[in-house]
Structure 1
Amino acid sequence: MISRLPLPGLPGFTHRWTEGEGVRLHAVDGGRPDGPVVVLLAGFPQTWWAWRKVLPELARRYRVLAIDLPGQGHSDRPPGSYDTHTVAARVHAAVIRLGVAKYWLVAHDIGAWVAFSLALNHERQLHGVALLDAGIPGITLPESIPTDPARAWKTWHFAFHTVPDLPEILLAGRERDYVAWFLKAKALSPDTFADAEIDHYAAAIAAGDGLRAALAYYRDAAESGRRNHEALSRGALSLPVLGISSSHGSIPDMAASLSPWAADTRGVVIPGAGHFIPDEQPAAVAEAVTAFIGDRTGSAGRGCPAGTVRCCGS
């Protein structure tokens, strides 16, 4: 049961629960109450805890909300569709109920799937969106996976997760082994994640209907893609979009992949990281996000991020 999951604390942050279109969502709230609001969404196989190293850095300037998506962490695992437009509506409603009128959105992996759809539907209530190392369903996510072993290990699970019933049969009771493979194989260093962190993420997926919910995002990816194209038929995104890639991630140039769908796109590449950029290079992620927001608001961080972050276009 979700209620029995350990709830790790983070100094300066408060656990909150709110409702988004009938679904109870968990959020971690902290930072400057009078600052711009930054909402963080994590991906598979993680929870809000993926941002634990980034949150304190951003909290110096912003009010920061890290939200567990439906099916993640301490949020509900509702039945029905997990297409990203349905999920985005729930996340956005939850943010509004937390007293936020307009916000910046930063998201990784499946969280980026949701963030892209949220931007398509609620652009006027976003200042901008930063997307980390993710192919977007129907947009930049390939419809077929490579069979070359040198590349297939990065994307093989997209097809596996869509097969009815089989993943549950094979993975039930083995969630920790499965989660550990992703965290170790897709990080640049296999030592990035401690055993306790792997335990945390595995327990969240094993709790309640967590496995079903995690797989549902992939099983509904085709519907997510269809609805993305339907929304884009009304026009491309006009809000600022930042694509954050890494030196050893899945998407070499997020900005280039997103630019046909967003008029105001820029990108950065963070060295020394694989797919799990917020865990592997949290200071660089915070730096890139701060520079992105500052460039649009006239506050600190104008221009391309400096230091450990390499600008890769605009």
Structure 2
Amino acid sequence: MADRQAPHGAPWRQVVDHEVDGEPLRVWENPAQAPQGPSLVLVHGFEESWESWRPLTRRLPAGLRLFALDLPWRSGSRHRWTDGGTSTTWLERALELLPVHPAAVVAHSFGATTQLDLLTRPTPFSAVPTALVAPVYRPHDVPVDPRFFGEAVDRFRGVLADGLRAQMGPRGATVPPDIVESMIGKVRERVEPHGFLQFYATLSRTPHLPLNLVEAPVLIVSGTHDVSAPPSAVDELRSSIPDVRVHQDPALSHFCQLQQPDQVAEQLLGFLTELGLHHSDELHHTSKEAISA
């Protein structure tokens, strides 16, 4: 399968292209310098893609073997994938396609919530150390009522718009605002209502996850002003997951893996070091000059 060259890093290559009920599951790999390096698996969020991890992975050690999953809730999807199972079912299927058992998982937003759900279930992946970046979570004391539904719609639309802007990066500043709004409108036309229903169902059931069953070490990285995981939600996660460490920073956006990758990489490397999967003297995939380019 064809290699694709990252702008400032090692080439990624597609290693799995699998289909279930007409829905593709793909795995991309960025090999480690050492063939037996620890494997880190990346799980993207709603309306994102495996490429959303590029800014972060350019800051990770070359000794890590990186795998990025391409999942049914990818950008461009019509979001009818629940005919073939829940997001947790799809994630487990994708993990089963990996050529090696993951040493750790890093998941963002909707993907993070899906990974958290998977950690509560009896699967071969339930004990895999996990970093949850900006997870979507609803605390117990937030009732599912008409007000919550309306807020969820607004939040969903806000995340879609913010995600599009984040993925545009610096070039977004050169695009006229009316063009950006038109692009956001087209995304909403495609994603709603099926996509919102999946998002809403996931958000509604998070308080019922048996988080006391999570055996894996967990890191949570999020912004204190991120409405998808407000401080009350993170506090509940902190008190419910047995082995958890939390880093919250007002400077982090919901799409911090794209917009503040240095801060996220610092927290992730500290977590991996604690797990014995990284050593501070390891080389990174790119130089500081490449990162700042």
Cα RMSD for the two superposed structures:
4.3
Aligned length: 263
Q: Does residue 1:239 correspond to 2:238, yes or no?
A: no
The 2-side partners of 1:131 and 1:225 are apart by 14
Counterpart check, 1:216 vs 2:218: no
The amino acid that maps onto 2:129 is G
Matches within 5 A, 1:109-120: 109-120=109-120
User: 152, 165, 175: which is aligned to 1:158?
Assistant: 152
Preserved contact between residue 28 and residue 67 of structure 1 (Cα < 8 Å): yes
Q: Which residue number corresponds to residue 34 of structure 1?
A: 36
- Structure-2 separation of matches of 1:75 and 1:16: 21
Check 1:12–1:192 CA distance in 2 against 1; reply closer, same or farther (3 A cut).
Answer: closer
Give the structure 2 partner of residue 12 of structure 1.
11
Q: Provide closer, same or farther for how the CA distance between residues 19 and 265 of structure 1 changes in structure 2, counting only shifts above 3 A.
A: same
User: Following TM superposition, by how much is the alpha carbon of 1:81 offset from its aligned partner in structure 2, in angstroms?
Assistant: 5.0
- State yes or no: 1:289 paired with 2:235: no
Structure-2 change in CA distance of 1:34 and 1:72 (3 Å) = same
- Separation in 1 of the partners of 2:83 and 2:94? 18
Distance apart, 1:300 and its partner CA: 2.2
Cα distance change, pair 299–160 in 1 and its aligned pair in 2 (3 A): closer
Displacement of 1:114 after TM fit? 0.8
Q: Deviations over 1:83-124 (max 9, x none)?
A: 7xx222222222222212233111121111111111112565
Amino acid at match of 1:57: R
Structure 1 gaps of 5+ residues are 1-6, 163-170, 172-176, 302-314
Unaligned runs of 5+ in 2: 281-293
Tell me, what secondary structure is at the counterpart of 1:102?
Answer: coil
Question: Identity of aligned pairs, percent?
Answer: 20
- Quick one: higher RCO (CA 8 Å, sep 6+), 1 or 2? 2
* Rounded Cα–Cα distance in structure 2 between residues aligned with 1:63 and 1:242: 20
Q: Is 1:256 aligned to 2:235, yes or no?
A: yes
CA distances 1:253-297 after superposition (whole Å, capped 9, x unpaired):
775331233111111124532221111211221221121121022
Aligned residue identity for 1:27? V
**Per-residue deviation at 1:35?**
1.6
Please give the residue correspondences for 1:183-194 in structure 2 after superposition, counting only pairs within 5 Å. Answer: 183=164, 192=169, 194=171
Q: TM-score, normalised by structure 1?
A: 0.66
Report the CA distance shift for 1:278/1:98 in structure 2 as closer, same or farther (over 3 A): same
